[in-house]
Amino acid sequence: MVRIPFFHRGKPEQSEGLRYVISETSRSTGVPVERIVLIMTYFLQHLVAAVCKGKLVRIPGVGIFGAFTWWPKREGTYEPDRSQPARCLPRFVAYRPFRNEVGMTAMPDEERNKALLNACRLHCPGRSAKKSSSTTFTTMTTFRQSLTKQAREKHVEEFISG
């Protein structure tokens, strides 16, 4: 099993979804897990880089990623205050096929809702944005370094089979 960095050691459920996606991709394609993870980290790193350059990244059947321009609101109104400096925030919009599939197949789950709302709260635009210097590039680089270290520590067949 690949140990995924940045998840709390005592809470394996936090990485359950990502582990599932990685293992199912490996099983479906016959590509070893470590290669899937490497490709995934580079894909995400370059997706973020494209969005940072102002490009819209469309994934057919899934959605669109882009940088959304946001202005602070005028006090007491919902109108943007264009005299204030604008900020760009990442935005993902799910396309209809993705929304339809989730709507038809996913079951309601209060715990999942809590996790999603908690992620919104912890990663909201105003929360310590000036204090943090982390970037997707450094996160994905660390992810790949962790993967390389794991591969060296374990025999490759054991590493792949989990």
Residue ranges of domains in the chain, CATH in brackets = 12-161 (4.10.520.10)
Question: Is 50 exceeded by the pLDDT of residue 160?
Answer: no
Highest mean pLDDT among 9-13, 20-24, 56-60, 157-161: 56-60
Query: Mean pLDDT for the chain?
Result: 81
CA atoms lying within 13 Å on the CB side of residue 100: 4
Of the candidate ranges 35-39, 81-85, 96-100, 143-147, the one whose mean pLDDT is the lowest: 143-147
Q: Averaged over 6-21, what is the pLDDT?
A: 71
Q: Is pLDDT above 70 for 61?
A: yes
How sure is the predictor about 94, in pLDDT bands with cuts at 50, 70 and 90?
Answer: very high
**pTM of the entire predicted model:** 0.75
Q: Which residue has the tokens 């096929």?
A: 97
Return the pLDDT at 133. Answer: 65
Measure the CA–CA gap between 143 and 162, rounded to whole angstroms.
Answer: 17
Q: Which of 26, 23, 7, 27 is nearest to 15 (CA)?
A: 7
Mean pLDDT of 17-24: 87
pLDDT of 3 > 70? The answer is no
Contact between residue 45 and residue 136 where contact means Cβ atoms under 8 Å apart:
yes
What one-letter code names the amino acid at 61?
Answer: G
What pLDDT is attached to residue 81? 85
Given CA atoms 38, 146, 4, 135 in this order, what sign does their dihedral have?
Answer: negative
Percentage above 70 pLDDT, the chain: 80
